[in-house]
Amino acid sequence: MQRHRSKATILSILSMGLGQIYNRQFIKGVIFLLVEAWGIFYFSGNLGRSLWGIVTLGDAPRRLVKGKWLDGDHSIFILVQSLITLLFFVLFIILYIMNVRDAYKTAQNREKGIKPNSFKQSVRYIMDYKFAQSFLSLPAIGILFFTIMPIIFMIMLAFTNYSAPNHIPPAKLVDWVGFQTFRDLLTLKTWSHTFFGVLSWTIIWAILSTFTTYLGGLLVALLINQQGIKFKGLWRTILVIPYAIPQLISLLVMRNMFNGQFGPINQYLGYLGLGGLPWLTDPFWAKVTVIVVNMWVGIPVSMILIMGVLTTIPKDMYEAADIDGASGYQKFRIVTLPMILFSTAPTLIMQFAGNINNFGAIYLLTNGNPVVGDYQYAGATDLLVTWLYKLTLDQNKYNMASAVGIIIFLIIATFSIYNYRRTKSFKEEDMIQ
């Protein structure tokens, strides 16, 4: 009874499409055969070199003769091309497995007396029942090559010596060095002092910027939502203006306003008989400045979010609290705050993770400055992400920047996964138990 399944499976393993042809699905079988023919042609010329390239990263560097680079190996090109080929190979293997499963299931239906679908019927079945999977496969492939592959590439760079001045292709080759980059980053004094200094400020910045914007948005939303407040629409409009203006413009304007020499803020302090402050040139005041400016552009976001939550809280909960004789503070602590936190906890976690990588707020306002003398290519307000940018674009320390990027990912992933699993917002349970 299993003769069809055995034959179709064996044939499809021997070659893509043969199992379908055995099941009398000729067009589908020919398509699979053409895919395999392309795979054989492509991988016969590229797979071996890709495996060699990803292991060796090249044998001989290119030579510059009379202004022209002669033939040789470019380690980074080899690495990228090898990754692309290996990802194609993974997709090819997945398709090969799908081909075997399809032949097996079709043969199983034949044994039950079910006639195999024609090509037209197969297309109709996909459009009616498998459209979502088929449609999603296209963006999934795009994500694989344009998101996942660059991440894999970055991770692999962290285990190489790809950096200036001695290991920059095409004049030089890049070599695998294992965990040496991470050891240098964490133990070599010139790097570890900078790393732990920037890391500590990154965590402090993420906590303070998230807390201040959320608390500010909560207070503003509660004030506007109070009974007796007139022109609520006008207040909402005024307070949302900083959010409506592009952040790029707001930050650049603030950068000029806090300028220590000709900024309006220091001029106003002078009119009041107070001395100007080094807002952007002193390490402490620069950190205060970025947090204050971040409140200016971040509070409206939290305000809008929390105001939306306030409108969903049932009024009968407040009526029941009034009957029990609860004060305004007790109603806020027992009813309002738990409902707000329940609804906004995922967004709060996301804001914290986003602030760790808040490149624009730091780079546009202070460029990571002021300079710290014993830091390695970093300033007093640099976050890990802005330090990574400087290491890459300004200093060509690609391996070190990749190691920093991996550490950023581990910090954000660990924090986000831990908190998402703990918050009740994603659990099938009542928030009040």
In the chain, the domains with their CATH numbers are 3-178 (no CATH), 183-426 (1.10.3720.10)
List pLDDT tens digits, range 319-352.
Answer: 888 888 888 888 888 888 888 988 888 888 889 9
d(CA 102, CA 9): 9
pTM, to two decimals: 0.86
On average, the pLDDT of the chain sits at 89
Cα dist from 331 to 207, 322, 328, 336, 424, whole Å: 27, 8, 5, 7, 21
The pLDDT of 371-386, averaged and rounded, is: 93
The pLDDT of 203-220, averaged and rounded, is: 94
Query: What count of other Cβ atoms lies within 10 Å of the Cβ of residue 185?
Result: 21
> Does position 278 have pLDDT exceeding 80, yes or no?
yes
> Does position 35 have pLDDT exceeding 70, yes or no?
yes
The pLDDT of 73-84, averaged and rounded, is: 93
Where is pLDDT greater, at 231 or 370?
370
d(CA 166, CA 149): 26
d(CA 331, CA 336): 7
Where is pLDDT greater, at 187 or 326?
187
Cross-strand partners of 167: 163
> Does position 64 have pLDDT exceeding 80, yes or no?
no
pLDDT at 113: 82
Query: What count of other Cβ atoms lies within 10 Å of the Cβ of residue 129?
Result: 10
> Does position 157 have pLDDT exceeding 80, yes or no?
yes
The pLDDT of 169-173, averaged and rounded, is: 86
> Does position 1 have pLDDT exceeding 60, yes or no?
no
